Chains A and B, each alone.
Chain A
Amino acid sequence: MTVSRSSWFLILFVVVAMAAAIVLPLLFASESRLVLYCAHDQALAADVIERFEQESGIQVDVRYDEEANKSLGLTKLLLAEKNVPRADVFWNNQLLGTIHLQSAGVLQPYRGTGWERIPESFRDPDGYWTGFAARQRVYIVNTDRMEASVESISERLQQPSLQAVAIAEPLFGTTLSQYCVLAQQMGLDQLKDWDHDIRQRGIRVVRGNSMVKDLVAEGICDMGFTDTDDAFAAMDSGSPVAMRPVRLDTGHTISLPNSVAIIAGCRHPEAAQRFIDFVLSEETELQLAAGAGRQIPLGPVDRTRLPDDLQPLVEWAADAVPLANAAEFHTSVADWLNAESTGQ
């Protein structure tokens, strides 16, 4: 084998590759000014970030979460990078993980104009985090298979077999948030009993909310627990589905706001503050409300500018249980679920 002959082409290959890797990205990107970790869905967040870049002139480098299967979780990554942070801002698609970061000393407070416009129940009093643009925890129902009424949902959940009901693995995401709320409401032991009961009755525990949506939309399951953005995705694609809010025994609904926070010791604090005020503004909440995910604005907005199908959700969000107390159960619930999952 004559390596010297082919090595010329290898060198050429390396040179072309390096040029492509280094030069081309430089052609399209200016100097980095803000590093954003974004757990919100890329398709929904990208427009907001782009608008911020255009209006502020600040270049944003974004690291998105890659969903349950791929991501080790931005929350875990931020904890691992606590001593040498590379992110300036964390845009989480839920709240409890952000509160966990606060307790771990990863965040720094900021009370700007955005923080001021959000109701107290959705923000940290010291400004470590601020909630905005929420989703609701809902039952998604296949209307070809059952009636989407509160009574029929309740009846279905009482049946001995839950084979036709789906829920996402509660180890992650918003199902974990729902479990934390339930732990706060009923106590951890009762939550364990409830979880044991639904599993015994054969509920289908799948890998994510989108899978729940798919199972119900395809008619493989009659109903399931998911979030409003997934339910809207199914409705928009023409599937025969409807949604009803998950209500606790107290009558409260579960509202899952996005949250933003500045990372302690970040490299671009001024840009971070500008970004936070930007995403907490009325315009951004309206933009997210008009998007495919139909996020529910939490601050005061002109309701005439909201899509029609979002109007009832605003009412549901008004009944939401405060999540800050549920955060106390985050670690204990996660530890229990992890022990169950790994058999440790």
Chain B
Amino acid sequence: MTLWFVLSWSVARTVIVSTAAVMVGQCLLRDIHSVASTRWRRTWLIAALIPLLVPELIVGFNYRLTAQKLTESVWGTELLYATVLLIRSCSVSVLVLLLLPASAVTHESIHSWQLLNQRTNHYRRQYLKLLVTGPWRAPVVAWCLTSLVTFQDFETAALIQVVGHPVVWTVWLFDANAGNQSLNQTLVFIIPPLLMEFIFLIPGLWLIGLDSSSEQRTGSAPRRNTTCSSMWRTISATVLGLCIVAGWPVLISLPELWEGTRTLLQDPAAILRQQATTFGFSATAAAVSLSGAVLLHRSNKTLTTVIFLLPGLAGSLSLSLILMWLFQQPGLQLLWDQWFPMLLGQSLLMLPRAWVLVLVLKSMVTPEGRYSATLLNSGQPWHRQSASRLLWNLESIRWLLAAAVLCHWCTWDVTTASLLRPVTVEPVVTRLYQEMHFSRTESLTALSLVTVAVPWLLFAVMTVIRRAISYGAMLQLRSDETG
């Protein structure tokens, strides 16, 4: 198979999956917005976004056997892969649609333009422009970013691929490099797919650039009354998606959890070492990317932002291969086999996601709430204490949560860790890969559970510590007052 053949196949799949994902995403978001109860609305939104947090490695491994049973059917394998991709892409699409600022083009202006109803070229061009920058804007941007995520998938494809299907350019590229091609030749092969990724991105970047000053977000669109059918549609789609990517893998793994835990406990020091190393790298990369994203948002320069985000948007395989080549050059060879390449790779990979998360954080905090907390902060000690608690609830805990999410994504990225890690570092995810290879599902299940839990557990611990400190300070204040 030539590169052009696999690229064409991958592009066709990407176009179909992304188009479907945006359509489903729009329906889901509309239905979620129509839910009257804030609590239920939030619950469904989180449920719709959960597939983004399910490690691709786990999904790919659990559907490997299903893929094996489909080996006689090319289309069956392709359909399985496309379904798994579609579920993740729907989440991406929901997230983008949720975050995107509403267009400045109102329905009234489009309606007014329609009333003109002229048949000149100028009229048609302007009408099209209004549509693209108006009602089509959010779906087009969502489509661009969803396409990017779909197009650069590697983990799932590599694990699901059994007999040459699904045809995916990332697997082809990896095989070419792992075969007999030099790294330089592989980097030449990367150029067409990278160009393709830019082509996917260009309309989105153009549309975002056109109207970056708008503050209103589609996520805050007015609610409609919920209908029974739309509610059922949302529930069915979300539950089905969750069952496929999370429910089924968990269900078939649970019986082996006890045995796996016993296996892991035979060498707890090794597990602790791997978890500590992995968490150390992931947390640092998360913090670096989050700080970088904050700086990019502060700079407010579109071109700078795009330049910094592009390496991460190129995907983990392309990014890691390029960094690997870079750090094997004479001037930088000293840094090879150090922690820096891996940390840089993970930070760059996470930067676009961190940028999106900062956008989410910005959209969640109301200026009024923050202002009230700031005013309180300048008052009496008791007020300052309340302000501190308020600011924690309004901001700090959300930042920590964002860091935990990034940390989770970083931990589960096999490609960057595998290609850029120093000899002395063994991230837990590479060990998981070994467990997978030997089908040691018991220890794989237990180790996966521990790995999933670590960032969230530390997040919980930090939250509890913060609350304890706050409670201690409050008790101190009370005792001072009574004394």
* Inter-chain contact A20/B280, CB cutoff 8 Å: yes
> Do A5 and B162 have beta carbons less than 8 Å apart?
no
Smallest CB gap from A204: residue in B: B163
Question: B322-353, CB under 8 A of A: which get 1 and which 0?
Answer: 00100010000100110100000000000000
CB–CB A1/B269 < 8 A = no
Please, how many angstroms separate the alpha-carbon atoms of A86 and B425 in the complex? 14
A218/B69 in contact, CB under 8 A = yes
Q: Which of A19, A71, A72, A204 has the most CB of B within 10 A?
A: A72
A214 touching B280 by the CB < 8 A rule? no
Chain B residues, Cβ within 8 Å of A42: 431, 434
Cα-based distance from A118 to B175 in the complex (angstroms): 35
- How many residues of B sit at the interface, in one of the four size bands? 35 or more
Q: Which residues of B contact A337 (CB under 8 A)?
A: 179-180
Q: Which residues of B contact A28 (CB under 8 A)?
A: 269, 272-273
Chain A residues with CB under 8 Å of B65's CB are 214, 218
Say yes or no: A25-B276 contact (C-beta < 8 A), given A17-B287, A218-B65: yes
Partner of A1, one of B3, B181, B362: B362
Chain B CB within 8 A of A124 CB: no
Cβ contact within 8 Å between A43 and B438 = yes
**Shortest Cβ distance from B424 into A: residue:** A61
A27 smallest CB distance to B (angstroms):
8
Residues in chain A near residue B180, CB distance under 8 A: 171, 331, 334-335, 337-338
Cross-chain contact B396 with A5 (CB below 8 angstroms): yes
Q: Does chain A have a CB within 8 A of B115?
A: no
Residues A24 and B175 in contact, CB atoms below 8 Å apart? no
The stretch that binds B, out of A62-70, A140-148, A190-198, A242-250, is A62-70
Which one of B22-30, B208-216, B230-238, B290-298 is at the A interface?
A: B290-298
Chain A residues within 8 Å of B272, by CB: 24, 28
Interface check B365, CB cutoff 8 A: yes
Is the pair B2, A17 in contact by a Cβ cutoff of 8 Å? no
Q: Give the distance in Å from the alpha carbon of A1 to the alpha carbon of B402 in the complex.
A: 15
Interface size on A, residues (CB 8 A): 73
Contact A341 B176 (CB under 8 A): yes
A86 CA to B1 CA, complexed, in Å: 36
A19 vs B277: C-alpha distance when bound (angstroms): 10
Q: Report A232 CB to chain B, min CB distance, Å.
A: 12
* CA A5 to CA B284, docked complex, whole Å: 19
Which residues of chain A (221-260) have a CB below 8 Å from chain B? 233, 237
Closest to B284 in A: A17
Are B68's CB and A3's CB within 8 A? no
Please state if B328 and A17 are interface contacts (CB–CB under 8 Å): no
The CA of A19 and the CA of B281, in the complex, are separated in Å by: 10
B281 and A21 form a contact (CB under 8 A): yes
How far is the CB of A111 from the nearest CB of chain B, in Å? 27
Report yes or no: A3 in contact with B298, Cβ–Cβ below 8 A.
yes
- Interface residues, chain B, with chain A CB atoms under 8 Å away: 1-3, 5, 65, 68-69, 71-72, 158-159, 161-164, 172, 174-181, 183, 189, 269, 272-273, 276-277, 279-284, 286-288, 290-291, 294, 297-298, 324, 328, 333, 336-337, 339, 361-362, 365, 370, 374, 391, 395-396, 399-400, 403, 414-415, 418-419, 423-426, 430-431, 433-434, 437-440, 458
